[in-house]
Amino acid sequence: MGHCQQSGRDILDPHLGRYAARTAGMTASEIRALFAVASRPEVVSLAGGMPHLAALPLEALAAQAAQLIAEDGLTALQYASAHGLPQLREQICEVMALEGVTGHPDEVVVTVGSQMGLDLVARLFCDPGDVVLAEGPSYVGALGSFAAYQAEVVHVPVDDRGLVPEGLRAALRQARNAGRRVKLLYTIPNFHNPSGVTLAVERRAEVLEICRAYGVLVLEDNPYGLLGFDGRTYPALHSLDPENVVYLGSFSKTFAAGLRVGWVLAPHAVREKLVLAAESATLCPPTLNQMIVSRYLATQDWRGQITTLREVYRERRDAMLDALEEYLPGCGWTEPAGGFYVWVKVPEGVDTRAMLPRAVAARVAYASGTGFYTNGLGSRRMRLSYCYPTPERIREGVRRLASVLDSEPALAHASAGAGPQRAALRTLAPEAV
């Protein structure tokens, strides 16, 4: 995608002028641009969202993969249906049932990660100029998919209880008055990326009713729903209105991201079109990887594995919140009850995007807030991930971040005489995230 950005390299690109108009919306995300630098070992990366894999039963998985190929290789290494393997689709229904979803295996389409689900749904529903509503802030990969189909994302306000229904109503009214066509509400109800907040249960029916009233389809993205730190799950939006919700799920956060196995659960008519779109994208999802996931679910203690992951992430969340409390008293932040991310508000005068190179020079990386909006907001926000580094590294990363913040020109000046003003910021968290 980098070649689609206007850059020095474009001048040398002999194909410039040939690209389809839709490539104009394809730019490297700020996070991706950061990836190379942030993954140097001396940098504490609080930037990416890489899941913790160390607790996986690697030897058992290796033996199973070898056995699959030895005993069932002629199936595992062959093309299969674009719909996904039937046994895996049944198992996916069991996984979804943990959050109240009662889908039928026929309505499930297996995808190459839920990212492909996002792409397929955008492909099916978005014409250039259509509006997609999404939380402000929202998942950067989804913003990329909508941009690739030339849809315009309009952000809906979020507070510490998730999407604000009144804000949703206002956005829909405004779009209607402007004669715009709103196709989708894209929402991450549980342990949101990047804000860390969860949509309050009592708001869920209201959000669905509003979308029904305005004739807008809901796209529910739920990769983190089983990663609540107290083991609690929330009723999926799909479970409350299955005919008007397309649901995206993934094994990336609860099992292995590198296998790239996710799924879409959609009402029958949509499902048929999804299979056709999936066929033209990949012919079929990887057969071997689907079989690895299926066998893992059938033979390993995957529920126990999720419990272990919850514990690991809870410990890291606690380390993050403790370090923020100790080192960044001038900032505000959300307090996630699950998932991977804390959304931090920095003091006035600090621009997180401009500060990032200084942070990387001080050997700490984060994702600046602007990448999670399509409208230029977010310069006083940053996303900190606690999923990958150990608690000690998290602490060290936040300590480094504090020293970077302290030497920001705007704050170095303010902190000389305005300590109480900075401390007061903490008490504002997390009003509007």
CA distances from 260 to 251, 253, 263, 272 (A): 8, 11, 10, 22
Judged by CB under 6 A, the residue of 43, 45, 92, 139 near ligand PMP is 139
CB nearer ligand PMP, residue 293 or residue 414:
293
Q: How far is the CB of 142 from ligand PMP (least distance, A)?
A: 6
Angle at 64 between CA 59 and CA 68, to 5 degrees: 150
Q: How far is the CB of 35 from ligand PMP (least distance, A)?
A: 13
Tokens 């250039």 identify what position?
A: 128
Tokens 């679910």 identify what position?
A: 297
Binding segment (CB under 6 A) for ligand PMP, from list 82-90, 107-115, 120-128, 227-235: 107-115
- Residue nearest ligand PMP, CB atom distance: 113
Strands 182-187 and 131-135: parallel
The answer to whether the Cα torsion of 429, 155, 248, 265 is positive or negative is positive
Q: Say if residues 375 and 369 touch (Cβ distance below 8 Å).
A: no
CA distances from 171 to 134, 163, 185, 206, 287 (A): 10, 12, 11, 15, 42
Q: How far is the CB of 51 from ligand PMP (least distance, A)?
A: 9
Helix, coil or strand: residue 331: coil
Q: Is 136 in the site for ligand PMP (CB under 6 A)?
A: no
Rounded Cα distance between 228 and 195, Å, is 15
Q: Burial of 205 by CB count in 10 Å (0-12 exposed, 13-18 middle, 19+ buried)?
A: middle
Q: Is 385 in the site for ligand PMP (CB under 6 A)?
A: no
Size of the site for ligand PMP (CB under 6 A): 14
DSSP 253: I
Residues 6+ apart with CB under 8 A from 92: 103, 105, 108, 110, 249, 263, 265
CB nearer ligand PMP, residue 291 or residue 387:
387
Q: What is the number of other CB atoms lying within 10 angstroms of the CB of residue 393?
A: 17
Q: Say if residues 404 and 362 touch (Cβ distance below 8 Å).
A: yes
Q: How far is the CB of 250 from ligand PMP (least distance, A)?
A: 3
Judged by CB under 6 A, the residue of 145, 198, 239, 250 near ligand PMP is 250
Two tokens, residue 43: 């940098």
Judged by CB under 6 A, the residue of 137, 141, 144, 189 near ligand PMP is 141
Site residues (CB under 6 A) for ligand PMP, limited to 4-33: none
Question: Torsion angle of alpha carbons 396, 398, 402, 408, nearest 10°?
Answer: 110
Distance of CA 91 to the CA centre of its chain: 23
Q: Is 257 in the site for ligand PMP (CB under 6 A)?
A: yes
Q: How far is the CB of 1 from ligand PMP (least distance, A)?
A: 16
Judged by CB under 6 A, the residue of 45, 91, 187, 193 near ligand PMP is 193
CB nearer ligand PMP, residue 121 or residue 359:
121
Judged by CB under 6 A, the residue of 120, 188, 197, 365 near ligand PMP is 188
CB nearer ligand PMP, residue 165 or residue 285:
285
Q: Is 289 in the site for ligand PMP (CB under 6 A)?
A: no
Q: Is 114 in the site for ligand PMP (CB under 6 A)?
A: yes
Q: Is 163 in the site for ligand PMP (CB under 6 A)?
A: no
Q: How far is the CB of 151 from ligand PMP (least distance, A)?
A: 17
Judged by CB under 6 A, the residue of 103, 196, 242, 262 near ligand PMP is 262
Binding segment (CB under 6 A) for ligand PMP, from list 17-25, 73-81, 120-128, 249-257: 249-257
Q: How far is the CB of 337 from ligand PMP (least distance, A)?
A: 16
Q: Is 210 in the site for ligand PMP (CB under 6 A)?
A: no
Binding segment (CB under 6 A) for ligand PMP, from list 74-82, 235-243, 250-258, 411-419: 250-258
Q: Is the peptide bond before 137 cis (omega within 30 degrees of 0)?
A: yes
Q: Which residue ranges make up the site for ligand PMP (CB under 6 A)?
A: 49, 113-115, 139, 141, 188, 193, 221, 223, 250, 252, 257, 262
